[in-house]
Amino acid sequence: MSRIAMDSGATVRQAFLERFGGLPDVVVRAPGRVNLIGEHTDYNDGFVLPMAIDRAVWIALRATSDGHVRVHGVDVEEEGEFSLSAVSDAGPPAPGTVSQGWLEYLKGTAWALMDAGHELSGWEGTVAGDVPMAAGLSSSAALELATACAFAQVGDLPWDPVAMALLGQRAENRWVGVNCGIMDQMISACGRADHALLLDCRTLVGQHVPLPQDTSVIILDTNTRRGLVDSAYNERRSQCESVSAHFGVEALRDVTSAELARRAGELDDLALRRARHVITENERTVEAADVLATGNARHMGELMNASHTSLRDDFEVSSEALDVIVECARQSAGCHGARMTGAGFGGCAVALAETAAAAELARSATAKYRKVTGHTPQAYVCTATDGAGSAPSGRLT
């Protein structure tokens, strides 16, 4: 598990002191993420290129001996508690049920760990974070990985980032009831400072790709959130699965652009466009990792622009707000490219720009967007950080 510098952990540490008295045994942190390219490819066994960001979920905690987890949610100003044996006995809700509320992520992670054979101990702690919720920056995966990290610390569990990411995904799929792919949990667990991660979502083999010098990543939050994202997401998943079944392959990852072009006549227009997005996005993502590694930010920006067009026109998961903010970013001097990021239908866009131009891009793109749409956006110039990790409380004071 990586050791990380603390500063945003100050909030949870202070809250711990006030709520529970004394110092926590440990403080853990798991980051949110922004995906640079490779959207809606993870559940097609394809490639993604996200980075962990300097916004995270933090937990300050202390071991207890009563087999309970007792938490204070600092941001939501709520208390929560559950018994590990009750979670293990009850098991996950019936398939198709969606469990609401932040505590469910903790329970789901506890269940997934116990179901995988880990012996868990109880703890009490404070939770806080600065990953905006429902914005497409993976606040849920961050909470799952921070929880896993908390259990790993108090129970002295071996920390295997890939295994923990898979358990986080299992918690989300089976307990929370959201049918996500593996990208978010993998990058929250396996991120590396100053690098993006080219991840093969079939083999889960990752390659850390250094970000080009003098290049910054800017997240632009449209401040729009659309309901029914889950049903639209599931619909896209099943459309992709139908095409791969038609081609007799395991996943769309196994089809090339050339094959799709040759057999295009077998598909209706909608199926063709959905498949074309996934297949071309996989190709762009592999190419993006190469061009990033050579420091060619301009070419990377072109691939991001092409990704947005494909998500907008072929996969149809963009929104008017996302299209506008992407356009506003591209009009700024020094912008290499911009696209929507995450599941879509609202939430955030990501832009790549010369570092010297990043602050001005954030200012001008948000000002233009506000003028056109009337929404109040947020912009974050962010850096790539390490994945989930801990620091002993002694180092935090």
* 137 or 362: CB nearest ligand GLA: 137
**Helix spans in 177-317 (H):** 183-190, 229-247, 257-263, 269-293, 297-313
Task: Compute the least distance from the CB of residue 23 to ligand GLA, in Å.
Answer: 35
Amino acid at 350: V
Q: 356: which 2 tokens?
A: 């010297």
Tokens of 337: 């490219």
Q: What are phi and psi of 9, to 5 degrees?
A: -75, -10
Q: Find the shortest distance in angstroms from Cβ 183 to ligand GLA.
A: 5
Q: Are 32 and 139 in contact (CB under 8 A)?
A: yes
Nearer Cβ to ligand GLA, position 59 or 311? 311
Q: 3-state secondary structure string, 106-137? A: HHHHHHHHHHCCCCCCCEEEEEEECCCCCCCC
Binding site for ligand GLA (CB under 6 A): 39-40, 42-43, 180-181, 183-184, 342-343
Q: How far apart are CA 77 and CA 71, in angstroms?
A: 11
Instruction: CB nearer to ligand GLA: give 187 or 362.
Output: 187
Cβ closer to ligand GLA: 20 or 43?
43
**DSSP states along 271-306:** HHHHHHHHHHHHHHHHHHHHHHHTT-HHHHHHHHHH
Three-state DSSP class for residue 229: helix
Nearer to ligand GLA by Cβ, of 223 and 307: the residue is 307
Measured from the CB of residue 176, what is the shortest distance to ligand GLA in angstroms?
A: 11
Q: Smallest distance, Å, CB 392 to ligand GLA?
A: 32
Which of 42, 45, 184, 314 is catalytic? The answer is 184
Pick the closer one to ligand GLA by CB: 46 or 125. Answer: 46
By 3-state DSSP, what share of the chain in percent is helix, strand and coil, each rounded to 5? Answer: 45, 25, 30
Helical residues (DSSP H) of the chain, grouped into ranges? 10-20, 84-90, 102-115, 139-155, 161-170, 183-190, 229-247, 257-263, 269-293, 297-313, 320-330, 355-373
Least distance CB 359 / ligand GLA (angstroms): 27
Assess whether 184 carries a catalytic annotation: yes
Q: Please state the closest distance from residue 34 (CB atom) to ligand GLA, in A.
A: 11
Distance CA 11, CA 130 (A): 11
Catalytic residues: 184
